[in-house]
Structure formats: structure tokens, C-alpha cells
Amino acid sequence: MANISITKISSKGQVVIPQDMREGLSEGEKLVVIKNGQQIILKKMDDFDKNLEEDLEFAKRTEEAWKAYDRGEFISMEANDFLNEIKKW
């Protein structure tokens, strides 16, 4: 299951990675930034080639889900049902 956190962009374009998301990251470590439509993916440079296709597919599915939500094409479900559904991805 993916962790979710919220941050913001400064006037200089800087983004702070929330502390709870920095596990496994070190100061000065290089990250690759991938923009796919409205999705932005950060990957450790060391892991750039690993699972890139899966990351892009996840971004595509997330973008499609937001568009469906904006069109009012969504359903409500219990949290456990949602977690079971997302595991199928």
C-alpha cells in the first residue's frame, strides 16, 4: 500500500519531502523527477531503471482515476473494500 503525504512548492520551485516519506533517502542523494501528465514521480537515481514501467503505469491509472472523479464517475465503498480493490492493481 502506498503512503500518502502532502507538501507544497515554494516560490523557488523547491519541494520538501515530508519526514515520514524520507526513510531510505540521504542528504544529497540524487532523485529523478518524471512528469507524466499531471502526475510527478520521484525515484532514487540508483533505482531509476528498476520498475520504471510500473511507475508510469501507476501514474497513468492515477491520472485516469482523477479524471473520472472530476467527471463524477466514482463510487463510495468501505475502506477495507477499497484496500482490497487497490491490491488488485
DSSP assignment string, 62-83: HHHHHHHHHTT------HHHHH
The whole-number pLDDT of residue 1 equals: 53
pLDDT value of position 74? 79
**42 falls within a domain:** yes
Q: Identity (one letter) of the amino acid at 80?
A: N
52 domain-assigned: yes
Residue 61 lies in a domain: yes
Residue with the three cell numbers 503505469:
57
The helix (run of H) or strand (run of E) holding residue 43 is: strand 39-44
In a domain, 8, yes or no: no
pLDDT of residue 49: 67
Q: What pLDDT was estimated at residue 12?
A: 94
Q: Which domain holds residue 51?
A: 19-87
In a domain, 54, yes or no: yes
Residue 4 confidence class, pLDDT cut points 50, 70, 90? confident
Higher pLDDT, 1 or 27: 27
Please check whether residue 3 lies inside any domain of the structure: no
Query: Residues 22-68: pLDDT tens digits?
Result: 888 999 988 888 887 788 888 888 777 667 777 778 878 888 888 88
Q: Please give the DSSP secondary-structure letter assigned to residue 46.
A: G
- Split into its structural domains, the chain has a count of 1
